[in-house]
Amino acid sequence: CGPCRTLTPMIEKAVRAAGGAVKLVKIDVDKNPAYAGQLRVQSIPTVYAFVNGQPVDGFQGAIPESQIKAFIDKLTGGTSANSDIEQILSLGEESLSLNDFGGAAQAFDQVLTLDPGNEKAIAGMARVYLADGDVDQARQTIAMAPQDSRDPAVQSVRAHLSLASTAPSGESAGLEARLAADPNDHQARFDLAQAQAASGDLQAAVDNLLKIVAADREWNEQAARKQLLTVFEAAGATSEVARDGRRRLSSLLFA
């Protein structure tokens, strides 16, 4: 039935996120009419929750995903599985900060086993690939997240990938030589900032882009200011790079 096809993936996702605290059993009432009679099923889909062999809760129809989550949380106490996932995510983030990419990948993979749609774990795994220089795999991984995702971690990875795709080819040394010869070569400084951002040196990229804004904020249709916004998003809104960079940019624009 249509409502069944709508409900099934949502309830499967909620059960996986419960980390084993709940087991999902599906019954075809056409093949097992006795169950439908015993439970007084009037329409499908009908969902019952059993504890110690006794029905304790239930609902009919394809309810919203938020209500399904609340239904599962009510059964589990709403803490154990979610708490486990949060702890594993924290472990993955800590491993990334220590450049332990193997440990980070293991943690994020564990979360995705419990909750395949977890956007923070998807973004975390993509960051592992980025750190390893595998841009193509990072792009494939982040594509698992919804296109309209507003999760800051997902947006950060997508900004990183945008920076990587626009990085100029060639060695940074040549750009630095051009700047040494002419500090007002904004194109060379802009290209250098792009290369620095693509390699992960976001602070250096911010510094160079701010120098362009300070010298000529209108250069190339405000390209430096626009690029700064992408770098800030890649760094993360709460990062020191983004917070300090935004403060410095504001002081230049509104001085």
Q: Please provide the DSSP assignment of the chain as one string.
A: -HHHHHHHHHHHHHHHHTTTSS------TTT-HHHHHHTT--SSSEEEEEETTEEEEEEES---HHHHHHHHHHHHTSSHHHHHHHHHHHHHHHHHHTT-HHHHHHHHHHHHHH-TT-HHHHHHHHHHHHHTT-HHHHHHHHTTS-TT---HHHHHHHHHHHHHHTPPSS-HHHHHHHHHH-TT-HHHHHHHHHHHHHTT-HHHHHHHHHHHHHH-TTTTTTHHHHHHHHHHHHH-TTSHHHHHHHHHHHHHH--
Which residues have C-beta within 8 Å of that of residue 42, sequence separation ≥ 6? 60
Instruction: List residues with catalytic annotation.
Output: 1, 4
Nearest to 217 by CA among 255, 164, 166: 255
d(CA 172, CA 119): 34
**Token reading at 165:** 């795709």
